[in-house]
A and B are shown apart, each in its own frame.
Chain A
Amino acid sequence: MKFFKLCVVAVAVLVLVTASLAMAGETLDAVKKRGYLIAGVNGGVFGFSMPDDKGVWKGLDVDTARAFAAAVFGDASKVKYVPLTAVQRLPALQAKEIDVLCRNTTQTLTRETANGLNFVQVNFYDGQGFLAPKKLGIKKAQDMDGATVCVLPGTTTELNVADFYRANNMQWKPVVIEQTAELSKAFFAGRCDLLTSDLSQLAAHRAVAPNPAEYVLLPIVISKEPLAPVVRHGDDQWYDIVNWSVMALIQAEELGINSNNVHIMLKNKNPRVQRFLGVIPGMGKNLGLDDEWAYNIIKQVGNYGEIFERNVGVNTALGLERGLNAQWLKGGLMYSAPFR
């Protein structure tokens, strides 16, 4: 019995000690020692993170993770992707199974505080909207009273619709369907009047309609969904690296630097460009990286605009406009703090 008690105490002490060991620099050291970055991704959202037909990961979240690897190793391919479900994602980060979570996760107060996580610079501003048949003629929120709404279960999507209808004092009937593919099928078969989902997904749903021209995206957005990469509390250096890597993607677009012209830009006389690309040294050292970190990101992954157009832009199956995700100078929210 004494031995048993001793064991319990020993385990408790061990857990406490290891839990408090989250020191600055720890994650970076672990990543460098391991030789690759481990990123948690979704795995089932086209345009954000999904394997293609050869099993190669593609998407905006995937490219963001590649940017982190380019910053740390100078090699964007040194990433191991771990597909996670909505339930798994936060525990997996807390249990240090992954270094960073790039899984279209909405920044909220609870997640930052109670879950002990830090969201970095947003890499996609999403929001929840509705897809409706044109013939219903819906113009404003009041036209949506009494509608049946096709919705995915579990996530905040369902709660947002409920909040929206309650706030407007209207009635609705949910049709809850587990799978994304089945959801759009049910909607186009006429099982519900409206289909609700994140704006980034609604366009894809409309694209597979038997007759896409018969459906419209309603101009009603009922939630804010700032999607950002996530790291653990307690390792500020790692937070800085992840945060400023996303910033670098945005800053490069603002400065007009892309993957094609980045080596020419090295000769640019603009001091902002020179500081950014490490021609004037200093920025990398402050992060604990080498001074070519931003150059490597842009060279291998591209700037934010390139990533956006490649994965979700107007020429892809999602066909999204920049909208909120345009540069601040063009009326969007993508705004990087200065590199100096």
Chain B
Amino acid sequence: MVDSSQSIQSEQLKPPITRIGVIGWVHANLFSSVFNSFLTIVTLYFLWKIVPAFVRWAFIDSSWNTTGAACRAAGGACWSIVAKNFRFIIFGFFPYESHWRPLLAMIILFTLLFISRNRRYWKKWLGYVWLSGLFVMGLLLKGGLFGLPPVESTKWSGLPLTLLLSVFGLTAAYPLGVLLALGRQSRMPAIKSLCIVYIETIRGVPLISLLFMSSVMFPLFLPEGITINNILRAQVAIILFTAAYIAEVVRGGLQAISRGQYEAAESLGLNYYQKMRLIILPQALKIVIPPSVGILISAFKDTSLVVIIGLFDLLKTTQATLSDPRWMGFSVEAYIFIALIYFAGCFSMSSYSRRLERELYRGT
């Protein structure tokens, strides 16, 4: 009896109104202590100051498809700079009437990346799909076959160039970095010291100096009449640079695997290649997903440094637009636009890496 009456009573008594619903949530999360209340009020004050002004600037007073002079008169954000120069910012010098070619190439790239997200598709056929995709993309950019007019690689610019440098930079740097990490762990003194020298030298200099050397000094050493494409030189510099950082991250993973794993693999009679391929690397690479994605993201953003060697990547085409007197002064709007593009790239990389981590830990 006592039990049931208690349970009836507890059903009838509702918790105080300040502990449930919206008020309860606000109380628990925003005003749980004096300090938290203070922080909440300060934050709200800044939001109140900033958000309406930003909305007014970005949307209400803004111009979307006018001239620069009309923008200046309107006073708000001038998204017209992006709208009017959209194709130059994205495609740069690529011949105007052939813009569909880099566009199609980018669509193929995104489709391939989207398909590859799913680990169930990581089979041999996906490799062939990638190879043929790369061939088609190269053909679209370069032309010269099947009636496509050829386009000089010096005219590759804007977003396709940024993607080219990043995708090839990252995919080539990762395996190279793994090899360097294995080399540094090697028992063969020549290979080991070579890898150490390489990694430490590259990590000892900034990327800018590598790019400078590749674009300014390197050509002076080449024999007469031989010039190497500027984009290729920057691409190699980016690969070499990123690989050194990947190598150190992967080495961290290799060292985190306990000796027992190495010994167990050896006692099974596996040779070096089998041991690494089947036992050590799958575990080590899984551990280092977060730091290596960090490096890949920063490498993606670092490709914008090619501005200083005169390549017209996404950032440089935007800057070129900004030095046009008709559009001078609307740098904030233009930079917000490319910041959004970079954010989309970086965010999808990091969210995919989180998903990959979840799947891999569940799978084992």
Contacts and interface: CB of A to CB of B under 8 A. Distances in A.
Do A and B pair up? The answer is yes
A179 B331 contact: yes
B92 A181 contact: no
B93 A51 contact: yes
Interface stretch (A42-50, A68-76, A238-246, A290-298): A42-50
B155 to A, nearest CB: 8
Contacts of A185: 329, 331
B84 to A, nearest CB: 7
B154 A82 contact: yes
Interface string B214-246: 011101111111010010000000000000000
- Give the interface residue-count category, chain B: 35 or more
Interface string B60-85: 00000000000010000000000011
B322 interface: yes
A30 B227 CA distance: 13
B88 A51 contact: yes
B26 interface: no
A181 B321 CA distance: 10
A10 B320 CA distance: 45
B88 A80 contact: no
Nearest to B312: A83
Nearest to A317: B325
Contacts of A53: 84-85, 87-88, 321
Contacts of B157: 55
A255 interface: no
A271 interface: no
Contacts of B72: 208, 210
Contacts of A204: 325, 328
Interface in B337-357: none
Given A95-B222, A97-B227, A207 B325 contact: yes
A55 B91 contact: yes
Interface string B91-123: 111111000000000000000000000000000
Nearest to A85: B310
Contacts of A87: 212, 216, 308
Contact of B331 (A50, A82, A91, A181): A181
Listed residue (B212, B224, B312) with the most chain A CB atoms within 10 angstroms of its CB? B224
B83 to A, nearest CB: 11
A81 B325 CA distance: 22
A330 interface: no
A214 interface: no
B304 interface: no
B324 to A, nearest CB: 5
B310 A88 contact: yes
B319 interface: yes
A45 B323 contact: yes
Given A53-B87, A83-B312, A85-B309, A181 B220 contact: no
B310 A43 contact: yes
B23 to A, nearest CB: 45
Contact of A83 (B225, B310, B326): B310
Contacts of B329: 181, 184-185, 208
Contacts, number: 109
A179 B154 CA distance: 24
A54 B331 contact: no
Contact of A96 (B87, B94, B216, B227): B227
Contacts of B223: 14-15, 18
Given A18-B223, A97-B227, A181-B331, A317 B326 contact: yes
A180 interface: yes
A96 B221 CA distance: 11
Contacts of A179: 319, 322, 331
A21 interface: yes
A18 B224 contact: yes
B263 interface: no
Contact of A91 (B94, B216, B308): B216
B88 A85 contact: no
A35 to B, nearest CB: 12
Given A84-B310, A91-B220, A185-B331, A318 B88 contact: no
A182 interface: yes
B152 interface: yes
Contacts of B225: 30, 96
Interface in B282-296: none
Contact of B219 (A43, A45, A91, A180): A91
Contacts of A184: 328-329
A91 B217 contact: yes
A289 interface: no
Contacts of A15: 221, 223
Contacts of B91: 55
Listed residue (A14, A50, A55) with the most chain B CB atoms within 10 angstroms of its CB? A55
B323 A180 contact: yes
A94 interface: yes
Nearest to A17: B224
Listed residue (B72, B91, B230, B328) with the most chain A CB atoms within 10 angstroms of its CB? B328
Contacts of B216: 87-88, 91-92
Contact of B92 (A55, A80, A92, A207): A55
Contacts of A92: 216, 219
Contacts of A96: 224-225, 227
B214 to A, nearest CB: 11
B92 to A, nearest CB: 6
Interface of A: 14-15, 18, 21, 30, 43-46, 50-56, 80-85, 87-88, 91-92, 94-97, 179-182, 184-185, 204-205, 207-208, 210, 317-318
| Nearest 7 CB-CB pairings of A with B | A95-B219, A317-B325, A18-B224, A204-B325, A55-B93, A208-B328, A181-B322
30 contacts: A15-B221, A15-B223, A21-B224, A30-B225, A46-B324, A46-B325, A51-B88, A52-B88, A53-B321, A55-B155, A55-B157, A80-B154, A82-B230, A85-B308, A88-B215, A88-B216, A88-B309, A92-B216, A94-B220, A95-B222, A95-B227, A97-B227, A181-B319, A181-B323, A181-B331, A184-B328, A184-B329, A204-B328, A317-B324, A317-B325
Given A15-B221, A80-B154, A87-B212, 11 more contacts: A43-B320, A44-B319, A46-B324, A51-B93, A53-B321, A55-B91, A97-B219, A179-B331, A182-B331, A210-B72, A317-B326
